[in-house]
Amino acid sequence: MAVELIGVTKRFGAFAANDDVSIAVRRGEIHAIIGENGAGKTTLMNVLFGLLQPDEGAIRIEGKDMVMADPAAAIAAGLGMVHQHFKLVPSLSVAENVFLGMEIRRNGLIDHAAQIEKTRELSERFGLKVEPTERVSLLSVGIEQRIEILKVLARGARIIILDEPTAVLTPQESRELFQTLRGFVAGGMTVIFISHHLEEVMEVSDTVTVLRNGKHVATRPTAELTKADLVRMMVGRDVSFARRRRERTAGSVVLEVKNLWARDDRRLPALRDASFTVRAGEIVGIAGVAGNGQTELAEVLTGLRPASHGSAVLKGRDLTTQSPAQIREAGLAHVPGDRMVRGVDGGASISANLLMGRQTRAPWSRNGILDWQVAASQAADMIKRFDIRARGPQDTVKRLSGGNIQKVVLAREFTNDADFLLIDQPTRGVDIGAQESIHDEIMRQRAAGRAVLVISVQLDELLTLADRILVMFNGRIMGEVDGDGADSERIGMMMAGVEAGAATGGAAR
């Protein structure tokens, strides 16, 4: 066994982040540790790496009992940890970052040539392509991660822990990372991989350990499990992401977008000639790889970005000439894609966040004076209705988990009685259990006769929710697909820029 954790318990006050967790990791395997946010994955790894001291339990590395007093002890024992948030110095070169704190010296000075040489050698040996002399600030996130891994390798790690390594990567970069990891275990190293992205776990790991509420649920070979099994073990119940059953309820046109163009922040055309409608009682999905004009579309529709051409008419009012306040008045509710920037004021209370957009309306405000009591009691209602896990209306929003913050935004926007809902990335960074309840809520809005436009980079989500799916590529709408029986292959082709007709033709052949 490369790593054994035996009965590890870590408490923070009365709360046990890890409760009697025992895991054995075999040498030469990729061992995934999965669980929802707050299940105790990161705490457990911090205990293993000496960043936290356990209250009970023991750690064995290669069969030997170890006390991980600090990360130095863990590194000496052959462990290396790649954190979720990179700890690189942007102004230094790749090689300087790799050897930071353990510089190769010659005559008391840093031997840059040797560091560069050594970095290049490591990078070639492990297939982690980097240019050692390049400045870190100029590199992409995927390459930054390679540097983090190189740092760990340079310190002689044989057991590598990666905390949510793919959260920041594009699918392409993730695939390259997996290849590297397979190379590691083929060479006799051991990889521990924390994730809550199930496809990846299924794809790359040999063994899976599931944690829930700080407790160990199961450790099994990945091959014996299905995705549904994993979800059930993580959440503790069955969660369905099958397509939601529905009646056709599409009514009159609520939003009509015609030949809409807009520029991005660099003044380049980012939205090109988009035309579509959204009807009452239907969910229209916008699919596409991030950065293909979806953000600009959302911003134009909400008045946060000017359109350069075209119109977007919401119940007879052209939104392109209106301010955000006027558009809200016309009947828009908006769940923004970057919730921490646009969606909430993290430092304010839940009450105060739920008040936004209503601060001048009764009953929240009378004659310009706010009624905080009404705000608090409504907030309490919404906390209950949307199942927001918080201590109460006065709780500071930034203290909540990502899923609960998203629910605060949804609660505010869905209770506005707006006819048109624009939901950008409904479940980004949200736990599986919470995802399901958010989807339920969106379906309820549809049933209530609202016109819903859902923008998502997760195609699965649109296949679950949407009546019609529009695919965006390079600022254009490439085509439309009916939600029932939608073919993800075909949508994928359109997302990559292949015309709808051509895609069908390709499939036919």
Partner 1 sequence: MSDRLRAVYGQLLAVLFALAIGAIIILMVDESPVKVFMTLLRGAFGDQAKIAGTLLQTTPILICGVAACIGLRGGMFNVGIEGQLFLGGFAAAWVGFALPLPAGVHMLVGLAVATLAGAAWVAIPAFFRARYNTNEVVSTILSNYVAVLLTSYFTIFLFKRPGGWSETPPILPTAYLPELFSFSRLNWGLVIGLVLALSVAWFFRYTSKGYSISMVGSAPKFAEYGGVNVKRQGFLVLLVSGAVGGLAGGVETLGVHHRFMEGFAPGFGFDGLIAALLANGSPIGTIVTALFFGALRSGSLLLEVETTASREIITVIQALIILSVSAQVLMKRRGDSTAGERRWKF
Strand arrangement of the beta sheet that strand 332-335 belongs to: 332-335, 420-424, 451-455, 282-287, 468-473, 476-482
What is the enclosing helix (H) or strand (E) of 331? Answer: helix 324-331
41 near partner 1, judged by CB under 8 A? no
Q: Of the ranges 55-63, 126-134, 235-243, 330-338, which one interacts with partner 1 (CB under 8 A)?
A: 330-338
**Closer Cβ to partner 1, 84 or 240, answer by number:** 84
To the nearest 10 degrees (0 to 180), the angle between helices 500-508 and 488-495 is 130
Q: Which of 334, 407, 446, 450 binds partner 1 (CB under 8 A)?
A: 334
Q: Which of 53, 140, 259, 360 binds partner 1 (CB under 8 A)?
A: 360
Give me the torsion for CA of 167, 171, 173, 174, rounded to 10°: 60
CB of residue 34 to partner 1, shortest distance in Å: 18
Q: Which residues pair with 271 in a beta bridge?
A: 262
7 near partner 1, judged by CB under 8 A? no
352 near partner 1, judged by CB under 8 A? yes
CB of residue 342 to partner 1, shortest distance in Å: 4
377 near partner 1, judged by CB under 8 A? no
Nearest-angstrom CA–CA distance, 352 and 346: 10
Whether the Cβ atoms of residue 83 and residue 164 lie closer than 8 Å to each other: no
Q: Smallest Cα–Cα separation from 123: which of 27, 172, 77, 115?
A: 115
CB of residue 168 to partner 1, shortest distance in Å: 5
**Closer Cβ to partner 1, 279 or 412, answer by number:** 412
357 near partner 1, judged by CB under 8 A? yes
What is the enclosing helix (H) or strand (E) of 219? Answer: strand 215-221
237 near partner 1, judged by CB under 8 A? no
374 near partner 1, judged by CB under 8 A? no
Tell which positions 85-124 bind partner 1, by CB under 8 A: 85
To the nearest 10 degrees (0 to 180), the angle between helices 141-154 and 112-125 is 100
Q: Smallest Cα–Cα separation from 439: which of 415, 419, 456?
A: 456
Whether the Cβ atoms of residue 380 and residue 329 lie closer than 8 Å to each other: no
Strands 468-473 and 3-12: what pairing? unpaired
* 215-251 CB burial, b ≥16 within 10 A, e <16: ebbeeeebeebeeeebbbbbbeeeeebeebebeeebe
344 near partner 1, judged by CB under 8 A? yes
CB of residue 156 to partner 1, shortest distance in Å: 28
> Is the link from the previous residue into 171 a cis peptide, with omega within 30 of 0?
no
Nearest-angstrom CA–CA distance, 307 and 273: 11
Tell which positions 262-291 bind partner 1, by CB under 8 A: 290-291
Q: Of the ranges 54-62, 114-122, 185-193, 342-350, which one interacts with partner 1 (CB under 8 A)?
A: 342-350
Nearest-angstrom CA–CA distance, 467 and 450: 13
CB of residue 167 to partner 1, shortest distance in Å: 5
Tell which positions 439-458 bind partner 1, by CB under 8 A: none
CB of residue 292 to partner 1, shortest distance in Å: 11
Count how many residues are written for the chain. Answer: 509
Here's the x/- map for partner 1, 151-190, by CB under 8 A: it reads as ----------------xx----------------------
**Closer Cβ to partner 1, 22 or 365, answer by number:** 365
* CB atoms inside a 10 Å sphere around CB 505: 11
Q: Which of 428, 449, 487, 500 binds partner 1 (CB under 8 A)?
A: 428
Q: Which of 179, 323, 373, 377 binds partner 1 (CB under 8 A)?
A: 323
Find how far residue 461's CA is from the centre of its chain. 13
**Closer Cβ to partner 1, 209 or 425, answer by number:** 425
Quick one: tokens of 291? Answer: 């950065």
**Closer Cβ to partner 1, 277 or 416, answer by number:** 416
**Closer Cβ to partner 1, 183 or 291, answer by number:** 291
359 near partner 1, judged by CB under 8 A? yes
Q: Of the ranges 103-111, 390-398, 467-475, 495-503, which one interacts with partner 1 (CB under 8 A)?
A: 390-398
Residue numbers of the site for partner 1 (CB under 8 A)?
84-85, 167-168, 290-291, 302, 304, 323-325, 327-329, 334, 336, 338-348, 352, 355-357, 359-360, 365, 368-370, 372, 394, 396, 398, 402, 428-429
